[in-house]
Amino acid sequence: MATPFPIQSSRCWVDRVKAATEAGQFLERLTPMLDDRDLLLVDQRGTGQSGALRCHFFSTDDPAENLQNLFPPVRVGNCAKDLATRADLTQYSYQRFVDDLEKVRQILGYGPLNLFAGSYGTRAAQVFVRAYPGSVRSIYLGSVDPIDIAMPLPFAKAAQLALERTFAACEADAACQSAFPHVRDEFSQIMELLATGRVSVKVPGHGGRVALSQGRVAEWFRSLLYRPSSAARLPWLIDRASKGDWDLIVKGILEDARDADHDLSLGLLLSITCSDDLPFVREEEVAAAVRNTFLGDWRLRQQEAACKLWPHTTASASSREPIHTQVPTIFVAGDSDGGTPLWFTEHTAPGFQNRIVVIMNNRGHTEWEPCVETLYRRFLNQGSVQGLDASLCSHLSRPPFKTE
């Protein structure tokens, strides 16, 4: 029987938890490779039509909630109570998912799988190869998430590095430098103003004005820094805000919050992270992890507060031990990824003794380019990293900045 790909699909770890049946981008990437193999799509429990753990954190009646919080406490508590009437929220873990996937493989009669994973899905792939090494032929890890690093502790430093790279790229670009010659100063000014709590904004369709939180803006900026294509808007947005125009930032925050409610299983996000990550964040590490960053500890504290309201267990310490395997593995990372920086790959890769590491210049989180497709097609066909050119994606140019 043909060898399948299973997909654990996600755009941004702990930001995107989607079902395999919604993995259109992966279908586009892999369809050209399906002449002699199957594509196996499996909804992770808690997504899609497999008992999706939907939460509604977006408020149409009180937009201030979404301009102040990523995880509005009242809505988190209400969702936990509602979902607990039909599901044991402590039973949604990486280990449960990989056990489900192995059962699907056995029932369908497939041999070893070609795992194709991106972002948070790379955690599941790591757990799978440790639990069922004989069930894996090859592994693709795009924007890998280390299994032994507690998220979201590194988010602040990763975002700060990506912001500095964005500013440096703007300064080196004639059009961006001409349009925004003082973007660093403007950024400092707007963040300081937000910190005073005196920024109030209008929300379309609602009367009066509402307060805009510094942390909420910083978290939204962080999301733009996942990829240079979206980070290219930042200097323009910062400049507009420095002139008193916050409308585009407000619109972006609210649209993303609304889309997350519609597209994502946010309850699954909390079930996983509250058990597998937050319990392993050590308070004595926090100050150093957030020092001199624009995000600070805001995202971490938001997630900690949500987890206090969410039923969860604590994963075993052994479940977080780094993976060691001989299964052929291709790592693909972008050098401008504000979500899973290059040091994530450098930290994880040594445990994969039979590997190739491909760094895409001027690309970010889980991106896909023709050079990656060329490498992966060959890797997949031969089931080996031998002869692959890791430098094939080193020529990519940064997307142009928005200047008007």
Res 11: pLDDT: 28
Q: Could you tell me if 138 and 328 are in contact, meaning their C-beta atoms sit under 8 angstroms apart?
A: yes
pLDDT reading at 171 higher than 60 = yes
Cβ-in-10-Å burial (0-12, 13-18, 19+) of 33 comes to: middle
How is residue 307 written in tokens?
């987890």
Nearest to 306 by CA among 264, 266, 262: 266
Mean pLDDT (whole number) for 221-235: 98
H-helix or E-strand spanning residue 358: strand 355-360
Q: What is the mean pLDDT of the chain?
A: 92
Q: What is the pLDDT of residues 309-364, one digit of tens each?
A: 999 999 999 999 999 999 999 999 999 999 999 999 999 999 999 999 999 999 99
Mean of pLDDT values over 216-224: 98
Residue range 111-167, pLDDT digits in tens: 999 999 999 999 999 999 999 999 999 999 999 999 999 999 999 999 999 999 999
Contact between residue 278 and residue 307 where contact means Cβ atoms under 8 Å apart: yes
Q: Using an 8 Å Cβ cutoff, are 353 and 325 in contact?
A: yes
CA distance 295 to 155: 8
Contacting residues for 52 by C-beta, under 8 A, at least 6 apart: 19, 46, 265, 268
Q: Which helix (H) or strand (E) holds 107?
A: helix 94-108
Q: Which two tokens mark 318?
A: 């052994």
Neighbours of 318 (CB within 10 A): 6
H or E element, residue 330: strand 329-334
Mean pLDDT in residue range 193-205: 92
Yes or no: say if 201 and 68 are a contact pair by the CB < 8 Å rule: no
Q: Is 276 left (phi over 0), alpha (psi -120 to 50) or beta?
A: alpha
| Burial (Cβ within 10 Å: 0-12, 13-18, ≥19) of residue 387 | exposed
Q: 157-169, pLDDT tens digit by residue?
A: 999 999 999 999 9
Q: Could you tell me the CA-to-CA distances from 392 to 114, 141, 361 in Å, in that order?
A: 22, 17, 10
